[in-house]
Amino acid sequence: MGIGFAGGRSRIVSDVNVVPLIDILLVLLVIFMVIPHRQMGLPASLPKETSDPVPILHPETIVVQVASDGTIRLNGSVVQHDELRNRLEQVFARRAHRVVFLQGDHSLEFQVVAEVLDVLHVAGASPVGLLSSELEKNR
């Protein structure tokens, strides 16, 4: 703040001297412009994209498939309808988890799938998940 006399009259003029404030502002501006360029972050190793997806293997997953011609597959191997219960009981004897997924062809009648579902429950499968071809397309 400056005090001075204007002209010949003895009157006080009060002005704010902004020159030192502008100097401080410019120094702060330079400091804040230089600081971001001197900062170094931690090195990061980003994962690289692979060309082929890695198959996820679930050894404890049991999938029973019923094809359109009525053949039954247990984890990909063909099983007769009479053998299904015995094979499942053998598998469940060695496992604590008895989760089974049942996949039926869309052209089958529900009665065929219900018979296999009944065999699964008699063998001790609990819970039983139902798979559909629409779910497999979206994976």
Which percentage of the chain shows pLDDT scores above 90?
30
Which has the closest alpha carbon to 72: 85, 57, 56, 58?
85
Which has the closest alpha carbon to 130: 113, 115, 107?
113
- For residue 19, the model assigns a pLDDT of 85
- Token look-up 């931690």 returns 42
Residue ranges and CATH numbers for the domains of the chain are 2-37 (no CATH), 62-137 (3.30.420.270)
Query: pLDDT by residue (tens digit) across 123-136?
Result: 998 889 888 766 55
Q: Is 120 exposed, middle or buried (0-12, 13-18, 19+ CB in 10 A)?
A: buried
- Whether 35 has a pLDDT exceeding 90, the answer reads no
- Which whole number is the average pLDDT over 85-114? 89
pLDDT band with cut points at 50, 70 and 90 for residue 64: very high
